[in-house]
Amino acid sequence: MTWRTADIPDLTGRRALVTGATSGLGYETALELLRHGADVLVAARNPQKAAQAAERLTREGGKAPTVLELDLADLASVERAADEVTSTYDGLDLLINNAGVMAPPYRQTVDGFELQLGTNHLGHFALTGRLLPLLLKTPASRVVTVSSFMHKTVRGISEDDLRRPANSYRKWEAYGKSKLANLLFMLELDRRLRAAGADLLSVGAHPGYASTHLQAAGPELAGRALQARLWGAATRLVAQSAAAGAWPTLYAATYADLRPGSFVGPGFFEYRGTPKIVLPTRTAQDPDLAKRLWAWSVEATSVDPALTVPR
């Protein structure tokens, strides 16, 4: 497959919301969407960083984005952000569930969930659920959920993982489970949308190994400045750029003939390069596990996504 960002169609008149767009993959995704004419909402937790990113995006993208305050580790913040979007706009063409945390020391979300599953999965589950009515009434809309090849490192997930205590916490296992949850959710949403006869697409993407701040963020949270610098240096040496890492997300968001439930990753052994369709693990494709995760997520977030298709 040969694909470049130049192949992205004109997106004038289309509105996109990108979570975690102040740096890394989210920033590069928002930048290309702006360059191709989209109206972009930059959703981020830190207002100062969001404002700085918006200024830079305006300079580099030729169009000013809109800043939306959103903390995915706080379900009340998710509700406020979704309410702001639904009360302000009459449609949403693209929701890109990109933000995430990777391998931090043990933390809990505001609502008491293990931080990685709480942020990477539950926050995006609640956001998507609250924005579904707006997405469903927008023709040819898409939800892109960003996962990782790290979903291949775990064999399952349980309800107990959502509130995993500190004494049984393993940071890389928790990260892998959060990325598995992303794919289980993406594919279950796809199944439910197709059963409802909706033309909203649920698709997924992963960046391969891309140079972003995510690798250093965990050591920084643990107060290990030297380890963070070493992680950053090693990543910059061997990984592809954040811009290239965003290609699978952009492909998933804009390629016209993408099939429902597709998962897009880099072409070279899913490590780097041009986007292609890749396969999730068998565990990620397990519909029974996906249904259980959906039920646990509804109970945890008090958000029960309504898939009523406007007629």
Q: What are 160-176's pLDDT values in tens digits?
A: 999 999 999 999 999 99
Q: Residues near 119 by Cβ (< 8 Å), separated by ≥ 6?
A: 72, 73, 99, 100, 101, 109, 178
Q: Supply angle C-alpha 270, 250, 188, rounded to 5.
A: 75
pLDDT band at 198 (very low <50, low <70, confident <90, very high): very high
Q: Is the model's pLDDT at 225 over the cut of 60?
A: no
pTM recorded for the entire structure: 0.90
pLDDT at 208 over 90: no
**Catalytic residue check, 147:** yes
Over range 130-154, report the average pLDDT.
96
Tokens matching residue 185: 């959710």
Q: Of these residues, 175, 209, 251, 255, which one is catalytic?
A: 175
In the numeric block, which tokens belong to residue 266?
A: 């880099």
The yes-or-no verdict on residue 67 having pLDDT over 60 is: yes
Instruction: Compute, in degrees rounded to 10, the torsion defined by CA atoms 144, 145, 148, 149.
Output: -70
Please tell me the predicted confidence (pLDDT) of residue 209: 80
Q: Does the annotation count 177 as an active-site position?
A: no
State yes or no: pLDDT of 140 exceeds 90.
yes
pLDDT score of 306: 80
Known catalytic residue at 175: yes
Write down the catalytic residue from 23, 141, 147, 297: 147
Instruction: Please identify which of the residues 23, 148, 179, 297 carries the catalytic annotation.
Output: 179
Of 149-158, 189-198, 250-259, 265-274, the poorest mean pLDDT is in 265-274
Residue 287 CB contacts under 8 Å (≥ 6 apart), including other chains: 187, 188, 191
In the chain the first and final C-alpha atoms are separated, in Å, by 37
Give residue 14's pLDDT: 98
**How high is the pLDDT of residue 182?**
98
pLDDT surpasses 60 at 13 = yes
**Contact by Cβ (8 Å): 97, 81:** no
pLDDT band for 232, please (50, 70, 90 cuts).
very low
| Domains of the chain, each with CATH number or no CATH | 10-208+240-301 (3.40.50.720)
Average of per-residue pLDDT values in the chain: 91
Q: What's the confidence (pLDDT) of residue 224?
A: 56
Q: pLDDT value at position 205?
A: 97
- Residues 105-114 pLDDT 10s: 999 999 999 9
Is the pLDDT confidence value at 63 over 50?
Answer: yes
Whether pLDDT at 231 is above 50: no
The pLDDT score that the predictor gives to residue 223 is 63
Measure the CA–CA gap between 56 and 131, rounded to whole angstroms: 27
Residue 161: strand pairing partners = none
What is the bridge-based pairing of β-strands 272-277 and 263-268?
antiparallel
Q: Comparing 223 with 18, which gets the higher pLDDT?
A: 18
Distance CA 212, CA 4 (A): 20
